[in-house]
Structure 1
């Protein structure tokens, strides 16, 4: 059972979420101490709040989980749930949003950690392999982790 690539992908998901790695940043470190009050603040009108960014990452993780399960997904860039407003997210609450976010990573790992590397070459839709999906999720997470860092810097300047 060859699963070196799967193990590498799982390791990257864990690193991004909560491990110490070369980047010296991860989601738990970055958002763990953000207060409920600050989580929903847009430091500039053009910037998303931390909660909006976490929600956006979460919705794409959930869509990817559907694909990993072989289910149909319907989310598009234009879907309203792609970027929920702070007003919508406040109803859920910061702690619940973080909890769902952290759980989504665990769910992804549970779905793939016992697969072989052959699984990565299977297509979830014509022309798109699971390897592409999982690597894309990692890139998406890292991209928005950087954005969250910028938002937090602006929030710290304002307070």
Structure 2
């Protein structure tokens, strides 16, 4: 069996992290100039910081990984972990948060690399939703928030130049 779909998902995840894509953007590239000083800054009160966005991506990746492993997960949109405050995240630190984000990507890629296309059609985590739906959602979620990180950084850079 060729497993074209699973291989495509794995490649998309790798590209989103540090590969190339038609977007010419990835997490590694976007975050190379993020540091302890600028990671926790909201450029505007209603715009999340890079750290807040990274932690949000991380919690949903962790939840996705649990679901793919058949482990029950309990995080919801209303859970406090969904959007942690900059004060909470400063305790963790940007370096650790960034490392955890990159590690979660590696864990997700490694988990999927051993699966088949048939696995993607299973739906053990929520009736009516396949693992394919979950993986596609994780990829879309990453790309969406990668764009938000880009906007946050652009606003921060504009603010510094003003």
Question: Same fold per TM (> 0.5)?
Answer: yes
Aligned to 2:148: 147
| Structure 2 gap segments, 5+ residues each | none
In 1: Cα distance, 2:122 partner to 2:17 partner: 26
Q: CA deviation at 1:20?
A: 1.7
Shift of 1:12: 0.2
Q: Within 2, Cα distance between the matches of 1:125 and 1:104?
A: 22
What is the CA–CA distance in structure 2 between the aligned matches of 1:147 and 1:69, rounded to whole Å? 29
Question: How much has 1:35 moved relative to structure 2?
Answer: 1.7
Aligned Cα root-mean-square deviation (Å): 0.7
Q: 1:77-88 counterparts in 2 under 5 A?
A: 77-88=77-88
Question: Structure 1 stretches of 5 or more lacking a match?
Answer: none
Q: What is the deviation of 1:2?
A: 2.9
Are 1:109 and 2:109 counterparts?
A: yes
Distance 2:113 2:32 in 1: 26
Please state how far the C-alpha of 1:105 moved relative to its aligned partner. 0.7
Q: Which 4+ runs in 1 deviate beyond 6 A?
A: none
Q: What's the TM-score, normalizing by structure 2?
A: 0.96
Greater helix content: 1
Deviations 1:105-130 (A, max 9, x none): 11111111121100000002211100
Where 1:6 maps in the other structure, the secondary structure is helix
